[in-house]
Amino acid sequence: MKKRLFYFSVLVISVFFVQPFEMHGQQTVKLTDPYEHFRQAKLLFDSNNFPAAQEEFRFYLKSLQESTSSLISERTIVEYYIAMCSIYSMRPEAEIQAVKFVSDHPESPFSAKLITEIGVFYYETGDWARAIKYLSNSSQTNLEHKYYLAVSYYKSNQYKEALALFNLLKFESEDEFSLPAAYYAGVMHFHSEKFEQAIEDFKLASADPKYAAEAPVWISSAYMKLNRYNDLIGYVKPILADSSYQQSSGNLASIIAELQFQKQDYVNAAKSYAVVKEKSPMMMNRERNYKFAFALYKSKQLDEALLLLAKSDKLNDSLGQEMAKTRALILVDQQKWDLAYPALQEIAAMPFNKELAEEAYLMYLSLLQQNQQWPTLLKEIKSYQKRLPQNKQGELLVSMAIDALQKQASLSAMEDFMLNFPVGKVKFQELYQATCYQIASKAYEKQEDRRAIIYYKKSLDFAVNREMAWYARYALAEILARSNKNSDAIKLYVPLLAETNVPTGSRELSQRIRLSLAHSFAYITMYDRSLQYFEEYVANKLTGTRSVDDLRNLAELSIAKGDLTTGLKYFDEAIQQNSAQTTSLMERKALILFNLRKFKEASEVYLAYSSKFPNDPQADKMLYQSNVALARLQKTESYAAVIRNTTQFIQSKSTINPMFAPFLLIRAQAYENTNQWFLAMDDYVQIVRKYTTDSSAKEAIIGATELLKKAGRHTEAMELYHIYASQHGDDPSLADQWFDICTEMFQQAKYKLVVPELVRLIQEYPAYGQSDAINYMLGVATYHTKDYGNALIYLKRSQQGVSYANKSQWVIALIYEEQKHADLAIGQLVDLKANMAFQDTLMVDVQDKLKQLYGQQKKFDSLNQLWVDLDASDSLRKSQWAVEIGQYALDAVEYDLAKKWFSTSVDYNQDEVGAKAAIAFAKVLSLQNEYKQSNDWLVAQFIQSESRYYHLPDATVGQAYLSMADNFIQLKNNAQAKAILQSILSNSSDDAVKVLAKKKMEGIQ
């Protein structure tokens, strides 16, 4: 404001001095006295003494009005100052004077300035309506006035107009106005639920230190309103992590904690509540402390949660009940049953939340059930039902009671519940029936018939389950039958069949009863009745007539029961009916014999089929199967018969017969099995050359290939395959078959042979889908044949695909290592490690190789980083690595570094690896002539009864004793060294350690 006044003062004074002296250059000194009033008024105005300045200006104006020679411009300037003094001294007539001045001097430049100044004055004094009135024009060209106008609109609740101006201002280059404008726009956007715009506005405003504390709170609240959980987390976390940021961090942490808790992100909620507790402890009221504890519980920080709950105020209210529940849940998770049970009972006794109380008690019952505390559970269920007979948990209680009773298997307890727990009486009766039935069934299986009878009859005392009752009666009859009391058994079977053989009965049990009746009648030599029930059984299975299908099924069942003879008779009977199914029945009979390894009989049936039906389309196939069965006998004479039969077929049949190739194949196999390999190979080759489209060609190429490989003729095997492949034209599987053979050769490490085949394969099939694999195999094969230049070319090609990129890069590293380019090898391995999934099986090899190369080059910083990158959960490997790195350091005479790594290994392993490191640590101390410290270390790690490695075998602990003896020798304390060595010889169970101890003893003596 002072700056503006100074500007206008200079302007007015310049006008005053220029105009009078320019137009009245001949004036005398008589004007000096009135002008002194102007000068005095101007000084008072500049010092903000506006009332006194106005009086002086009025006096001077009066003198001007009395002077005939005064200029209008002089009077205009003085009137302007008088009006400004009224404005700044807040006189009631100020606005009237300003309006009058503008009216009297519409063309004067001071009119616009006066209107502007009165607008700014009203803004600064908080008269928003008048500020809007007078700033509306000047805001068009003045950025500051536009900002004042926007604030005036905002203060007078004209938000639409204010927001329009703030949205313009916030993008201006002058931070003095743009940042506050962004803040105001953000507030209005937020309150109008335009949260996206609000976020952007507050992000702009946060650059202003005035809003740095508030803006993050507004932004966080906007993210919450938008339910943009991840964005909120991502925004707030860096702020909370910034130790230099203290303002509102408690509020922000509280917001994020509440949201994380609401979203059940308990791990992060716990972390956020911890920040609130640290930075704004006053915000941690009982409810937040409860939520903090609950979040700790949910994130498995059980001890911390219990500690926090213990420190919280314990009040008898609903929140206190929730806290008690959380404590109980923690105790449950910790399986501290002696504390968890009373804790749950305590919650159940609280009156504040009845549902929670009931839930706690039911959890108590559930835990008793889970922990198989059956007597206590049954007691508590009865107590609960007695205390609250009208509870809504009857079904659940019955279910728990039934589970407990089932596990206890106490019939007396079941009887007690049947009498005293009416809610589930029928279910308890059903349980009693089922339990008795199960006891009886187990006794039946153990042939404890007396016990089985007692409990089957007990199960019938409460026949709630009708079908179970039927099976109990059936079992009683079965007991009689297997006791050869078949007549008594029949007396039970017959009425039981009458009950079950109805639409609402049990068809399955009826069939079983019929079979049992057939057996029982057979046992008492009533074969007619046996046949009656057996045929009734057959009739009830199908149509009641002995059709071909009936006979087939009878045959199958007989054979399944082990009665092969009867089953074959049923097949023969069915075959003799000469139905349309005769051929399928003969084929089925032969197949059964074949599957039962009755190969001779199966061969005869297949041969009978081909003889009886020579014109049947399957005749040649059956003759083929007959020879297959003969071959399965695996006898010299049977192989001879196969060769004879197949040769007869081959000589008598046309070469275009569809079975010609299969007969050639089985003859080849017979030749092969009788070690007539060249004859076998001839048949295999003939199939491949002449019957390549036949299905047998595939087996033939395999047989031929195997024989050729057995003879070491891999080149011929591949040549034969190419002949086979050439007959198939565009068969898409050819490349795969070729690829498979090459893969097999590769897997057998036939690297010199496989390289030209792979080159040819990729040349013939340049677009083959396995090109990466081919290049990989070529790279590995040429690597093994020392052709490192081509190996690198092929391996780099194979890296174009994802599948072999890592493995190829691994082999490239090995090549560089072979070429003594250790740095290049390391570069490949480092890159491979960085781009490979941690779970990749190759990761272990890469890490081990890097460890070897770094160790050879004594790059201990790199070894350290490599060790840090190991799987933290694999403590054994980390310990083993630490030992090896320590050894590298020891080899480099870096004793302190060696001790550090050996100590690290000890920290990670309490078994053999750690023990090895502990002994190595002691040896380093010895190398540093710290013999006493070395012994102290060994005693602490191995010798004391509670030491880390005391439990290990004598082979390991003995090494520690040997090291101690060496140290005492170095300390010239031979007596103590001998005592230790004698102790080893007397007490150690490890012979190798004893041998070493004996040698050292001899050396001392």
SS (H, E, C) 114-177: HHHHHHHHHHHCCCHHHHHHHHHHHCCCCHHHHHHHHHHHHHCCCHHHHHHHHHHHCCCCCHHH
3-state secondary structure of 347: helix
Please list the helix, strand and coil fractions of the chain in percent, rounded to the nearest 5, in that order.
80, 0, 20
- Position 9 scores a pLDDT of 33
Q: What is the pLDDT of residue 31?
A: 39
Q: Which 3 state secondary structure label does DSSP give 703?
A: helix
Among 229, 191, 187, 221, residue whose Cα is nearest residue 204: 187
Residue 35 has a pLDDT of 67
CA distance 704 to 679: 11
Phi-psi region of 173 (alpha: psi -120 to 50; beta: other; left: phi over 0): alpha
d(CA 659, CA 652): 12
Each residue's pLDDT tens digit, 905-955: 999 999 999 999 999 999 999 999 999 999 999 999 999 888 899 999 999
Which contiguous run of DSSP H or E holds residue 756?
Answer: helix 751-764
pLDDT of residue 22: 34
User: pLDDT digits over 118-164, tens only?
Assistant: 778 878 778 888 878 778 777 777 788 888 888 888 888 888 888 88
Residue type, 475: A
Stretches where the chain sits below pLDDT 50 are 1-32, 69
Assess contact for 163 and 185: CB atoms under 8 A: yes
Tracing tokens 């009332």 back to the chain, one arrives at 51
Tokens of 207: 């650059």
Contact indicator for 299, 267 with CB cutoff of 8 Å? yes
Taking a C-beta distance cutoff of 8 angstroms, is the pair 360, 347 a contact? Answer: yes
In this structure, what DSSP letter does residue 940 have? I
Picking from 49, 43, 111, the residue whose alpha carbon sits closest to that of residue 79 is: 111
Alpha-carbon span 700 to 680, nearest angstrom: 10
> In the block, which residue shows the tokens 């860096």?
238
Q: How far apart are CA 493 and CA 470, in angstroms?
A: 10
In this prediction, residue 634 carries a pLDDT of 92
pLDDT for 827: 92
If one counts every other C-beta atom within 10 angstroms of the C-beta of residue 36, the result is 12
Of the candidates 8, 16, 15, the one whose C-alpha atom is nearest the C-alpha of residue 45 is: 8
Q: Which residues contact 986 (CB under 8 A, 6 or more apart)?
A: none
Phi, psi of 107 (to 5 degrees): -90, -10
How far apart, in whole angstroms, are the C-alpha atoms of residue 451 and residue 457? 10
| pTM assigned to the model | 0.40
User: Looking at residue 182, what is its pLDDT?
Assistant: 82
- List the structure tokens of 740: 């498979």
- How many Cβ atoms from other residues are within 10 Å of residue 802's Cβ? 8
Q: 89 CB contacts (<8 Å, ≥6 apart)?
A: 50, 51, 54
Question: In this predicted structure, what is the pLDDT of residue 853?
Answer: 92
Contact in structure between 517 and 529 (CB atoms under 8 Å): yes
Half-sphere exposure of 278 (CA within 13 A, CB side): 13
